[in-house]
Amino acid sequence: MDEDSRIADVADVPADSTLLFTIRDGFDEREAILTKTDEGEVAAYENYCQHWTDVRLDKGSGATKRDGELVCGKHGALFEDDTGCCTYGPCEDAVLQQVEAAVADGGVFLTDDDYEFVQVGSSMEYDLSSDRSLGFD
């Protein structure tokens, strides 16, 4: 595997949360997440909820996981960590956009030809997803 595509050590991917990283598609950067499944595999997805795509699952400190599912903090949607399929919430049956990654030599490598690895963490200077919902007074 190419060291430029190495995202992180497998040991750095939390079992109870996610690891945020940035990828590039041409000139566009976007966020993605790594998570360990209950089977100990590593899965990678683009970092947004399928209900509202401006809502990030991991806002920088790891997404919430419960019983093998990623939780959208905005809507309560649940996504299976191994398939990305939504099992509950407003986007039930939708599937997180997978990012191809592989484990080799103790590391996780980006293998998706559509993307280039940029860095661990976010490169965004602003947060598109606030913790607040719209309110009308």
Question: Rounded distance, CA 72 to CA 3, Å?
Answer: 32
Within-domain flag for 131 = no
Q: Is residue 129's pLDDT more than 60?
A: no
Within-domain flag for 129 = no
Instruction: Please say whether the dihedral angle defined by the alpha carbons of residues 128, 23, 7 and 119, taken in this order, is positive or negative.
Output: negative
Question: Rounded distance, CA 79 to CA 49, Å?
Answer: 9
Within-domain flag for 80 = yes
- In DSSP terms, which residues pair with 28 in a beta bridge? 25
Within-domain flag for 83 = yes
- In DSSP terms, which residues pair with 65 in a beta bridge? 70
Query: 9-13, 17-21, 37-41, 79-83: which has the minimum mean pLDDT?
Result: 37-41
Query: 33-37, 56-60, 106-110: which has the minimum mean pLDDT?
Result: 56-60
CATH number of 40's domain: 2.102.10.10
| Number of structural domains found in the chain | 1
Within-domain flag for 52 = yes
pLDDT digits (tens, 9 = 90+) for 65-120: 999 999 998 888 999 999 999 999 998 999 999 999 999 999 999 999 999 999 98
Q: Is residue 130's pLDDT more than 80?
A: no
Within-domain flag for 7 = yes
Mean per-residue pLDDT for 46-67?
A: 89
Domain that holds residue 64: 3-120
Within-domain flag for 15 = yes
- Which pLDDT score is estimated for 74? 87
55-77 core/surface letters (b: 16 or more CB in 10 A; e: else) = bbbbbeebbbbeebbbbbbbbeb
Q: Is residue 47's pLDDT more than 60?
A: yes
Q: Are 42 and 101 a contacting pair, CB within 8 Å?
A: yes
Within-domain flag for 89 = yes
Long-range CB pairs of 88-95 (<8 Å, 24+ gap) are 89/51, 90/51, 91/49, 91/50, 91/51, 94/50, 94/51, 95/50
Coil/strand/helix, residue 108: strand
- In DSSP terms, which residues pair with 78 in a beta bridge? 71, 88
Percent of the chain residues past pLDDT 90, beyond the cut: 66
